[in-house]
Structure 1
């Protein structure tokens, strides 16, 4: 029998040792190797910085389907320029085994001088948008010109007969 293994953090965003992180990057997240319980109680997800910087406050949410915990800074807050931040996750527990992270997961990133002002754009939709899914054009009422009536149509060069 294989002994149970504690969960691990497989990735953090911003990535470890990232430099030039946008000041308005208000979401810091971590992906886990397996489904874990929500980070509450003795478990924690914190983001901090050294004085004179004030460490950001925020809330932690968990997407169990994607196995991602996200620290969202309080509304309107932004990161300080040219500052090193430390993100720390402790005590996250596996849903399958109940085991917690063996050691706290810690990573650092450094902010740049500016906010990200690049407008987002859609590069992919799922399901793919196709013309068949597009809304049909609005129907317009048909208008007939007085010149276009059966009485004004030209006579055919040969007689038309109905077949049996």
Structure 2
């Protein structure tokens, strides 16, 4: 393996593996903050307390901020590499080409890009499919884990105290 191969942030490189491990490590705070957000929401609904509703909104904002930051941190280097590779395809619509387009035109361009990628750059197309799976499955698990943890914490805190 030459050193140039290791500098590409695709999923099968050293940097891609490190990025994915960092993404998975950052799921723990998401689960904790998501659980606290769920507990705050349940208590705010039960009590109708305005300061608790404000805290609930803040907690949900923090949860979504952490989730989006984690996804962007993981996906950005991979998408930059993939975008550079795909720019060489004839007819491929780059991000700058898509700016200012209406949704319907942008969606048609996206579908065309997926088609062109599947035809001309199959390896990258498969990497995009794997990337989608690697992002979605842990996210679904995190949502269920946050709900389960929230239920356990809520039961422990509010049913044991009364």
Shorter-chain TM-score: which interval?
under 0.3
Q: TM-score, normalised by structure 2?
A: 0.20
Instruction: Give TM-score, length-normalised by structure 1.
Output: 0.20
More helix by share: 2
Q: Which has the higher contact order (CA 8 A, sep 6+)?
A: 2
